[in-house]
Amino acid sequence: MVSAERGQTKYQINLRRYLRESNVDRDLTRIICEIANASKYIINAIRTGDLGVAGTSNLYGEQQLALDVLSDRILQKRLMYSGVVAKMASEEVDEIIEVTTPNNGRYSIAFDPLDGSSLVDVNLAVGTIVSIFEGDNLLQPGRNQVAALYVLYGPRTTMVVSTGNGVNEFAMNQLMEFDLVRENIQLDGPAKIYAPGGLRSKYTEGTEKFVRSLEDGGTKLRYSGGFVPDINQVLIKRGGIFMYPHLKDAPDGKLRLLYELSPMAFLVEQAGGAASNGKQRILDIEPESFHQRAPVFIGTRDAVAFAEKCLREEEG
Ligand code: AFP
């Protein structure tokens, strides 16, 4: 631990050195550093690339943007290059990608290469979300993850990562390397902000009661439409809640368990927060399919507990 004060650092220490000095497994360090390398190319694509459609659609029937396909290809290539990956699952690809490496990869990775890609067109922040498991089984509860991270492409490019021993933030410097900027981030403040996904007219009674109580309590609405920037503001502001609840016409909400919810739940819990589908801890959900969706309430522990209470009352 190099910090002078919780969340602040007094030395410039880069990502690879920090992971090494934190005794993170060598192969896991290699994977995280390869994702850092991939993000350099993804930024370039975001800044200068084709904002049009790719002319293909993913298995959800959603039109893929050229940026989705390009970011996916960049990440796949870097992860294969790491030589320590057994299997990959991408939100943009229908089937599991088996990776043949000489020493049979030790880790398996699920990722959303560019979450919120439709926001690039309107110049809002977007992100890459990554979930890492040891072994070659990706269809398991999120509590078994060994690491999770996101890269946020905003005014600055940052990476927020946990390998199971707290959550740290790194920022990209002028040499496009990541330096530690916040260590051991904690969700120890009040929930000052809330980010409500989905159409409010489709909220069920319990969710509506929860949102009203937040507003009555003076909690401010802060929603960008991008999961990564919205979670990042809850973490960095040390308090708040993001929700994409079950809707009257979508009982499973919108967000995907493997690629979006599990990794974010791992990070938020490592920062002392909580993540629930309204009834159950997100990290305890046994996934039935790679593209399973789930409702989510994620952020400050008390706020998540209150959301669960409102939903229990809804069921009477
Ligand atoms: P896109 O990738 O289609 O832009 O969706 C982004 C996202 O998956 C997630 O980043 C947001 O939190 C959520 O969907 C926004 O959904 P709504 O537009 O329905 O609020």
What does the pLDDT average to over 263-284? 98
Dump pLDDT digits (tens) for 233-270: 999 999 999 999 999 999 999 999 999 999 999 999 99
Q: What is the pLDDT of residue 11?
A: 54
What does the pLDDT average to over 190-204? 96
Q: What is the pLDDT of residue 105?
A: 78
Q: Which of 254, 297, 298 to mutate to test the pocket of ligand 1 (most atoms within 8 A of CB)?
A: 254
Q: Verify whether ligand 1 is closer than 6 Å to residue 254 (CB atom).
A: yes
State the DSSP code for 260. Answer: I
Dump pLDDT digits (tens) for 213-222: 999 999 999 9
Rounded distance, CA 42 to CA 290, Å? Answer: 24
* Confidence label for 75 from pLDDT (cuts 50, 70 and 90): very high
Q: Which of 68, 91, 115 to mutate to test the pocket of ligand 1 (most atoms within 8 A of CB)?
A: 115
Q: Verify whether ligand 1 is closer than 6 Å to residue 68 (CB atom).
A: no
Residue 271 has pLDDT above 90, yes or no: yes
Ordered DSSP codes for the chain: ---SBTTB-SS--BHHHHHHHTT--HHHHHHHHHHHHHHHHHHHHHHHS--SEEEEE-TTSPEEEHHHHHHHHHHHHHHHHHS-EEEEEETT-SS-EE---TT--SEEEEEEEEETGGGGGGT--EEEEEEEEESS--SS-GGG-SEEEEEEESSSEEEEEESSS--EEEEE-TTS-EEEEE-S----S---EEEE-S-GGGB-HHHHHHHHHHHHTTPEE---S-HHHHHHHHHHTT--EEEE--BTTBTT-S-BIIIIIHHHHHHHHHTT-EEESSSSBGGG---SSTT-B--EEEESHHHHHHHHHHHHHHH-
Average pLDDT, rounded, for the chain: 93
In terms of DSSP bridges, do strands 220-221 and 53-57 run parallel, antiparallel, or are they unpaired?
A: unpaired
Q: What is the pLDDT of residue 122?
A: 94
Ligand 1, atom 8, residue with closest C-alpha? 116
Phi-psi region of 259 (alpha: psi -120 to 50; beta: other; left: phi over 0): alpha
What does the pLDDT average to over 150-178? 97
pTM: 0.94
Q: Which two tokens stand for residue 275?
A: 């993540």
**How many angstroms separate the alpha carbon of residue 62 from the centre of ligand 1?**
12
Atom of ligand 1 lying closest to residue 197 CA: 20
Dump pLDDT digits (tens) for 51-71: 777 777 766 677 777 899 999
What does the pLDDT average to over 83-96? 93
What does the pLDDT average to over 82-111? 88
Distance of CA 120 to the CA centre of its chain: 17
Q: Under a CB-based contact definition with an 8 Å cutoff, are residues 68 and 117 in contact?
A: yes
